[in-house]
Structure 1
Amino acid sequence: MGEARNRNIRIGIVDNDPYALKMFGALIERMSSDFAVIWTCDLGAVAISRCLSPTKRPDVLVTDMSMGDVPGTEVCRAIRTKTPEVGLVGVTSYALASFHDEAARCGAQALVGKTDLNGIALAIRNAAQGLSTNELVLGDEGSGNSLSFMDAATAYAVLEDTSYAHRGALSGKERDTLRMYADGSTTKEIAERLGISVATVATFERRALAKLGARSRAHAISICVKRHEI
């Protein structure tokens, strides 16, 4: 997605209000000569399908949070569990606090008010590079929000792993984390090798310990060695 700096940023938009969708698409294209709206749709399910299609995938999806068929948060989750290659920007006419934490959990890189055109442009540019935008929720409205938006790669790693974890076994990244600790790697080295943050490494370790019923990292490694899992 870093190539977006050298070419148009290809944007998909989903909003269940067709009139707002048409107007919003025109506004986004006028924000910058770098922005190219390649498609719009009014169904979350259609947006998910297009974002997962090799031929229709945009660099950034701008999604309304309140939609009839699939909520914007679930659109983000469905895409982010499958790929880190599409930047996800949520927009809403409601108070940002209404959707902020759930949007962050579901893998969005930003949440912006629909009237904040400068904020939308900034969020799109950042998301096209896989980056998050956390500075748009300010003042009293943002004070109650406990979660930060993750970059696309970290969100993908977390959500992909969570999806696997629901099946009850150690996920691949949990095993990799314990294996690298067993080999003597530091948390920072593991983060660099997996392309994730130090905090995400810690999350994988905590999940592994909880699943194994282990008292410590060393105990978890011992259990995995005995089970031939690492």
Structure 2
Amino acid sequence: MRRMTATSACVSHVPRLEDMAQNAQHRSVSIAMVDNDRMALMALSSLLTRAGFTVIWTAQLGAAAIQRCIRPQDRPDVLLADMALSDMTGIDVCRAVRRWAPDLPMVGVTAYDPAVYRDAALAAGAAAVISKDDIATIAATVRELSTSRSPAIIPDHGTGAPDRTVTSANALHDVPTQPSDSSAQSMQAHPHSTQSSQPQRSFALSAQQAAIMRRYADGRSTEEIAAELGISKGTIFSQVARVRDKLHASDRDEAVALCRRYLRM
């Protein structure tokens, strides 16, 4: 699957965004974005501003985004989080923000297949995972979330195009960070009721994890990867172990095979 850059992917949707900018209700909606790709931040910020939204801040590190979302004075109406960051995953960002600002709607964005991140993102509190090239749907989702202040299902408009959006109407409410008294009692009475019989793989890899696995998929040795990325072999082994845990892979070869299959490495 070809990975599209935010700049090139967004251009084809500009006319639709200009039409949407005529809607005055967008003007009051504030957005914050976290993405380790500076060019992607610039492109998305420009296009969403033209659509009538107000981008109040951007961040390239997940930790910085979490810190700003915790502060009420910096909290946007909607947070856009890239699924693959440098210091952590977008899933980690959503999970942390949801703990400290549970009423803040969040939308995951990705240059890859949104379905790869669906389950983990929704469980972490994101209302949707949308392809970065689908700017019109990102804008529509932000507008809907800012209006309802709760996650909403984005309707299928019957275009016949592949589904590039993954949403859940109750994502923020179905999986509370800390269970209420009633839910805790229910979990004690039915300890296995919320657990799947099969382990759920998470392909929400960090940027470094993805870089390592991509090089293994290309046939590089550990020594070559360490030299190319400027990191130690110990760091590589540690990151591969985390990837194996996420993918429930028995060894590195299985993890590489899964990345090749689902992430098109």
The alignment's TM-score, normalised by the length of structure 2, stands at: 0.55
Deviation at 1:149, TM superposition (A): 4.8
Contact 2:105 2:126 in 1 (8 A): yes
Report what 1:121 is aligned to. 139
Report what 1:208 is aligned to. 188
Deviation at 1:205, TM superposition (A): 4.9
Deviation at 1:68, TM superposition (A): 1.3
> Which string of whole-angstrom CA distances, capped at 9 and with x for unpartnered residues, describes residues 43-98 of structure 1?
01000000000211111111101111010011000011222231101101100111
86, 94, 103: which is aligned to 1:76? 94
Deviation at 1:136, TM superposition (A): 6.5
The alignment's TM-score, normalised by the length of structure 1, stands at: 0.62
Within 1, Cα distance between the matches of 2:162 and 2:119?
12
Within 2, Cα distance between the matches of 1:53 and 1:46?
11
137, 153, 171: which is aligned to 1:134? 153
Report what 1:193 is aligned to. none
> Which string of whole-angstrom CA distances, capped at 9 and with x for unpartnered residues, describes residues 163-216 of structure 1?
xxxxxxxxxx22xx3xxxxxxxxxxxxxxxxxxxxxxxxx555313146xxxxx
Calculate percent identity across the aligned residue pairs.
Answer: 35
Within 2, Cα distance between the matches of 1:125 and 1:109?
13
10, 18, 36: which is aligned to 2:38? 18
Describe the shift of the 1:73–1:22 C-alpha distance in structure 2 as closer, same or farther (beyond 3 A): same
Report what 1:100 is aligned to. 118
Kindly tell me the number of residue pairs found equivalent between the two proteins.
162
Contact 1:97 1:141 in 2 (8 A): no
Contact 1:62 1:90 in 2 (8 A): yes
Report what 1:111 is aligned to. 129
Gaps of 5+ in 2: 1-24, 192-265
Describe the SS at the equivalent of 1:12: strand
Describe the SS at the equivalent of 2:87: coil
Within 2, Cα distance between the matches of 1:25 and 1:206?
44
One-letter amino acid matched to 2:33: I
Report what 2:213 is aligned to. none
2:49 matches 1:9: no
One-letter amino acid matched to 2:150: L
> Which string of whole-angstrom CA distances, capped at 9 and with x for unpartnered residues, describes residues 79-130 of structure 1?
1122223110110110011101110000001111111112101211122232
For the aligned residue pairs, the C-alpha RMSD in angstroms reads 2.7
One-letter amino acid matched to 1:28: L
Within 2, Cα distance between the matches of 1:204 and 1:118?
40
Report what 1:36 is aligned to. 54
Within 1, Cα distance between the matches of 2:101 and 2:84?
23
Within 2, Cα distance between the matches of 1:6 and 1:204?
40
Contact 2:69 2:75 in 1 (8 A): yes
Within 2, Cα distance between the matches of 1:63 and 1:92?
9
Contact 1:108 1:149 in 2 (8 A): no
Report what 2:81 is aligned to. 63
Contact 1:82 1:160 in 2 (8 A): no
Contact 2:26 2:143 in 1 (8 A): no
Describe the shift of the 1:36–1:159 C-alpha distance in structure 2 as closer, same or farther (beyond 3 A): same
Deviation at 1:141, TM superposition (A): 6.9
44, 55, 71: which is aligned to 1:53? 71
